Structure formats: C-alpha cells, structure tokens
Structure 1
Amino acid sequence: MHAKARMLSVAMGVVALPAFVAPTAAGQSGSPEGRSTPNQEIRLQTGGSCASGLPDAPGGGAEKVSALIDRLTAQGLAQDEIDAKLAQDACLQRVDDGGGDVTTLGNPDDEISIGKPLIYRPAGKSYYIAAASWKWKKIPKDIDGYDGFGISFNKKVTHLAHSLTYKGKYYGKKKMKQAEDSGPYGAAFIFNEGPRGYAGLDIQGRRGTMVIAFKPTSGCQKVQAFSKYAHTWKSTSVTSASIGKWSIGFAWTNYDHKWQQASQPSGEAKVCR
C-alpha cells in the first residue's frame, strides 16, 4: 500500500503496441542535476579483451547500469555519446539495432520525453539489461496523484531483477525495487512524482530510469521492448499496474485528470544464453 490511501479503481487503460521505501519529500537533499561525480572505473582488462566489472548478481548489475546512465544523462550527453561511454567505462555493448535518440512526447500540455528501452549486454556476464528513462522538460502544471512507469517485452524472458530510480534537479535520488507487477514480460512501478518544491522549480520525479536484468528463456531469441508513463493529478491516482505480452496496463481512481503515453518500441535485439 502507498502512503496515500488506495481507492477502488474505476478505469483501466492498456496500450498494446504493434510491430519500497515509500517516496516522501521530507528530509530529502541532493546535488543539483548535472553536478559531476568521480568516475568509478568498472572496466576490467583481461588479456587485451574487455570484461565488465559489474557485479555478477543481476540485481547489483542493473542498479550500477542505472546509476551510470543517470550520471551520463545528467551531463547532457547524446545517446550515442552515452553508449560510447558505457562501452568504454563498463564494457557494456548496445545490442538492440535501433537508433538511440527517439523519444515520445507526453500530453501536449506536459513537456515530458519518454525514452524507448535500450538493451545492453555486459561483457562477461550472463544477463542483459533493458533500460528506459523519462525526463520532464518543464515542471508539470498539474501534479498530486501517483504516477506509473513500466517496461514490457514482446516475448517471454527470464526476468532476473528490476529497479526504478528517480530524482529532481534539487531533490535527491530515490530508489524502488518493489514493482507493482512483474513477470516474464516485464515490470511496472507506481511512484509519487511530486510534490512541487524549491519555490516551484522542482519535483522529486523530474527524471528517472528503470532497468530490468534478464536473459532469454532458452537458446537465442530476438526481443523488443517499449516503455510507458502514466500521469495523474488532483483526486486521480494510479492504483495498480499490470504487465503482459507487449502491453502495460494502469488502473485509476477516476476517469479524468490523467493521461498515459507509450514510447516508441526498441530496436530488435538478439539475446542468447
């Protein structure tokens, strides 16, 4: 249960594509977005080849990748630059065949970009990482209710771990490991993107990244994924989430004061055990 009382959902929205620590604002402090931190090398050299220094445990590896993406994104790097740094510093190979800069805008009244999932393979590890992010271009004019974010695959995978991190420009980072729903097709979270703070200049969910560590169910398979953001305000909140094949569903307390938006699908990735 969330800090806000859950109400009986009265509406369900599902988008299907064709081809915790409870979040609070009190006592949070953090560095302004974009402040650099020392680069911790997690690349190992073994006989001239690259081997990732990420943890062998998928959960730890996923969280490290999330932190790296967050830091590089805060520096204002383009996606190809982020991919190059991840390859250089962490031996992370981008394995989906799609471009990286395509994002989806949310409701026209809310300037938010929703990134399609990117799929990486840490060299020398037995798992893959799917990562998707969002960023509010400006503070939304309407907030209050709980929001949702998820990643869904087009095929069943062996789901190993997941996490969601989000932060503001001034609000510190928050991390969630308990998804609202998860399974072989992905995972979805519910979180509080508000409140508005710092003289109205920030919210605690200004930007965020979700990661899923996974591997194919057997042999090799080609997979794609998409992400989806659900936003609410006033008396409306997201009350539950569901994950299915190529679909992410959210339930709401009310029919109005909400929108949901899916990202572009990821490029296709061939993943092997």
Structure 2
Amino acid sequence: MTSPSRQPFVIGIGTTIALVAVLGVGLLNDRTTLVGVTLFAFVAMAAGVALRVAGDFGSPTRTVWAYGLSSGAMLASAMALLAPKAIGQHAEIGGFAIAVGYLVGYAAHEIGHHATHRDWPIDLVTGELTLHAVAAGAMMGVLYGSLPGLTALFGFGVVAHKFPAGFTGASAVIDRGQSSIQLVVPAAAVALAAIPASLLVPPLSGGVQAAFFGLSTGVFTHVAIDMLPECKSGDPESGHGAVVCSPDADRLRHAAVASTLFGTAAIAGLWVAVGGL
C-alpha cells in the first residue's frame, strides 16, 4: 500500500502517463488541433504552478496582486470569449445555462466543504480544480464534434484560465504543506476529458451547444468572482483571495481593485494580439 505522503506523487506520475496516452490517441484520430490546445492548457497551468513555487508571494500586497490578476483574467475570458458563443448559438438557452453554470459552481464550492471531513489522496483544492478542468475539457471535446474547425481563439477562453488556476492552486496546496506535484491532475484533466469526448459525442444542435458554452461560462465566472481579493480582519482561509490586514490598510484595497483591472486588460490585449480585432 502506498503511504499517504507518496500518494500525490504516484497519482501525478500515473496522470502524466495517461496524458501522454490520450494525446497519442488524439493524434492517431486526426484531433491535432485539439491536442495542441489541450497540451497548451497543460503547459499554461504548469507554468502557473512553477511561478508560485519559484516566487516569493508572502507579503499581503503580492498576494492581493496575484489573486486579483488571476480573477480579472478569468472573468474577462469567460465574459468575452465564452459568453458570446453561448448567446450566439441560442440567446435564451445560453443565458439560462450561464445562470445554471454559475449556481453549479456555487453549489460545488459550498457542498464541497463536506468533503473536508474525510481523508483524500489529493488536496481538496486540487480536486476542485480537477472538476473544473474536466468540465472545461468535456465542453471543448463535445463541441469539437460540431465545430471541427477549432481554432486557437476558440480554446483561448479555456486556456486563459489555466495559468492563474495553476498559480492559485499551487498557493493553496503549498500553504497546506503539501506537494504541488498533485496539480498535474487538474493540468492534464482538460486533455483527458476533451479528446475522448470529441471521439464519442456526435455533432450537436445549436441549442445544445449554447447550453454547453453557457454552463462553462457560468462555472468559470463563479471561480473568477470567488477569487476576487478581499481584505479580511480574521482567518485568511475565509476566501480564495483573502488576506489578513488591518482595517486601515487602504493601499491593499487599492491594489485589489487595480490588480483585477490589470488582469482583465491583459486578456483584452492578448485577444487583440491573436487577431480579435
């Protein structure tokens, strides 16, 4: 039996082997573009983890900026790159699906606290990130069957989440004294869900596509808002982006607002750079 301290490492190695296998299956079945997008998503999340592991983010100001940039980037990519596809396919279905997706994200976050009463082989934050990644990958794979002309811009709304997800996920895992190697699981989960889904699911109607885009938009929006940096006077674990500070630490609140705006601006700039205008 594997010792608890080695379980994340073993799971990480096993996930990496599975990732290589599923990427190979994708290449053999003419899913080259999808393989490229999901592999880039893996690299983007790994880069976010590496930045957190290598960098010093112990000060409240740096923590606020890190979470603010991540939150702003996630919110912008969800609203600008995913929501229009949901509404464009079918306005009403897409709109309802966005609302449902947001509430699903909320429900998963709240009900997920029940899992803290049990021991798991990976950190609960890693598990939550994995569920989000599976949802994103499934959406990409399912829609690929209907939109085989998948472009880099199509997947950008999902990929834009992976770097900040890697950074913030690593922060949570490291703060709990656990190994960041387990974050290989959510990093690989996009490909592990997307490629099989693209092979198994037939082309979908516009309404069903709108539902998938809307659900993804809503879930990602909840994650982004949940990560908004907040200045707390109590427990720093009270929120993903919370930092403990004194009531008069207005400069941290200024940094929180500025960082989210910079995160949004960064996504807008990248969108322009890849041909959005």
> Is TM more than 0.5 here?
no
Query: How high is the TM-score relative to the length of structure 2?
Result: 0.30
Judging by fraction of residues, say which structure has more strand: 1
Judging by fraction of residues, say which structure has more helix: 2
Query: How high is the TM-score relative to the length of structure 1?
Result: 0.30
Relative contact order (C-alpha < 8 Å, sep 6+): which is higher?
Answer: 2
